[in-house]
Chains A and B, each alone.
Chain A
Amino acid sequence: DAGITQSPRYKITETGRQVTLMCHQTWSHSYMFWYRQDLGHGLRLIYYSAAADITDKGEVPDGYVVSRSKTENFPLTLESATRSQTSVYFCASSESTAQETQYFGPGTRLLVL
């Protein structure tokens, strides 16, 4: 009964490094999402996926890459991390369309030095 998990929970990296944040869900939900949470902005959608091998951009996709080779996993990669990508990242999933309730992971706190 793990639900949706994220790893790592905390990460410190340096500018220019590649970082991958992992997200795994055990419900076989079709939709998965990546958000970033910043003070004064609330949550902003980075990317989402409607099914395996189907991904699409959200509001703030620049500097991020996603993939979804398996339904249960949805990793987010920062190809060359920048200080502006310091944030808390949340993964979420929903059973069918995006109008359904989203279930959130516990978040990954990323600091880019």
Chain B
Amino acid sequence: GDSVTQMEGPVTLSEEAFLTINCTYTATGYPSLFWYVQYPGEGLQLLLKATKADDKGSNKGFEATYRKETTSFHLEKGSVQVSDSAVYFCALSFRPRNQFYFGTGTSLTVIP
């Protein structure tokens, strides 16, 4: 069935370091792909999304490219800040089943 696999955490980086969080998916078809972020004590909020192959989603310096050939949607940021400390979730949705599938989340801590 459809599923999302993302890299295990936690991840600890120094401020201004480069970030990559890997996400791969399994889907019978062409899902939309999402990255959500959860700050401590809050609900999830959309970070970026891509709806078709080769699309690049970007927001707040984060980027991810929908790679159909490798079934991946890796999240990257060139220079992380302390305020980026959060849990990041990769997700997919697939028409027409109206279901969302989330990865297990990757906790990121950025230290000054």
* Residue ranges of A at the interface with B (Cβ–Cβ < 8 Å): 31, 33, 35, 40-45, 48, 50, 56, 58-59, 90, 92, 97-99, 101-107
Contacts and interface: CB of A to CB of B under 8 A. Distances in A.
Given A31-B98, A97-B95, 10 more contacts: A40-B104, A41-B104, A42-B103, A97-B96, A98-B100, A101-B46, A102-B46, A103-B45, A106-B42, A107-B43
Interface of B: 32, 34, 36, 41-46, 49, 51, 89, 91, 93-100, 102-105
B95 A99 contact: yes
Closest 7 CB pairs of A and B: A104-B43, A98-B98, A42-B104, A43-B102, A42-B102, A104-B44, A99-B32
B105 A42 contact: yes
Contacts of B43: 90, 92, 104-107
A59 B98 CA distance: 12
A90 B91 CA distance: 15
Interface of B is mostly: strand
B103 A98 contact: no
Contacts of A43: 44, 89, 91, 100, 102
Contacts of B34: 101
B44 A50 contact: no
Contact of B100 (A41, A102, A106): A102
Contacts of A41: 104
B103 A50 contact: no
A56 B97 CA distance: 11
Contacts of A99: 32, 51, 93-95
Given A43-B89, A106-B42, A50 B104 contact: no
